[in-house]
Structure 1
Amino acid sequence: MVHAFLHIVVPGLVALAFYRPRWRRVWLVLAAALLLDLDHLWATPFYDPDRCIINFHTFHTYWAIGFYMVLLFPTRTRVWAVGFLLHMVLDYTECWQRGIYLP
């Protein structure tokens, strides 16, 4: 539950800190990065507390993270890229808190 709460609060704090004049719109885009979790729908089992999300789900693979990093360069996709990468960091911290480390 705390993890889901962080996916809403942390993007808001980032938007306030770095995009003050238009923070509400940026916060919505950053929070919309939760759409990446749609890849959980085709995972079996849907949820496994002993599994790290990073590099298991399609939109959470290292290849996808590399693509999100490339999206940082064009100005038009930068806010989305920040949202996607922030989502990955928050998901990794959940793995780390549960004692599941990446290879």
Structure 2
Amino acid sequence: MVHALLHLLVPGVVALLFYRPRWRRAWLILAAALLLDVDHLWATPMFDPTRCSINFHPLHTYWAMGNYAFMLLPPLTRVWAVGFLLHMALDYAECLQLGVVLPR
């Protein structure tokens, strides 16, 4: 539950710090990065509290993260890219908390 709350609070802090004039719009986009979790629908079981999402779900792979990094370049996709990478960082932190060793 705390992890899900962080997916809403951390984007809010980032929006307030870096997108002050339009922080509400930025927060909505950053928080919409939760849409990446649609790939959990294809997993069996859909939710496993002991499973690390990184490199397990298709939108959580290192290849996908590389694409998110490239999305930082065009200004039109930059806020989305920041949201996706924040999402990956939060999921990675959860993996560390679970004590899961991630493949390189």
Shorter-chain TM band: over 0.9
1:48 Cα deviation after fit: 1.7
Distance 1:57 1:67 in 2: 15
Residue 59 (structure 1) aligns with: 59
- TM-score, scaled relative to structure 2: 0.96
Secondary structure at 2:45's aligned position in 1?
Answer: coil
Letter in 1 for 2:75: T
Residue segments in structure 1 that go unaligned for 5+ positions in a row: none
Please tell me whether residue 70 in structure 1 is matched to residue 61 in structure 2: no
Residue 91 (structure 1) aligns with: 91
Distance 2:22 2:2 in 1: 27
- TM-score, scaled relative to structure 1: 0.97
Q: Deviations over 1:50-74 (max 9, x none)?
A: 2210000011011100000000000
Distance 1:32 1:51 in 2: 22
What fraction of aligned residue pairs are identical, expressed as a percent? 73
| TM superposition outliers: structure 1 runs of 4+ over 6 Å | none
Residue 19 (structure 1) aligns with: 19
Q: Deviations over 1:24-52 (max 9, x none)?
A: 00000000000000000011111122221
Letter in 2 for 1:47: F
Letter in 1 for 2:23: W
Please tell me whether residue 32 in structure 1 is matched to residue 46 in structure 2: no
Distance 2:101 2:93 in 1: 10
Distance 2:14 2:87 in 1: 12
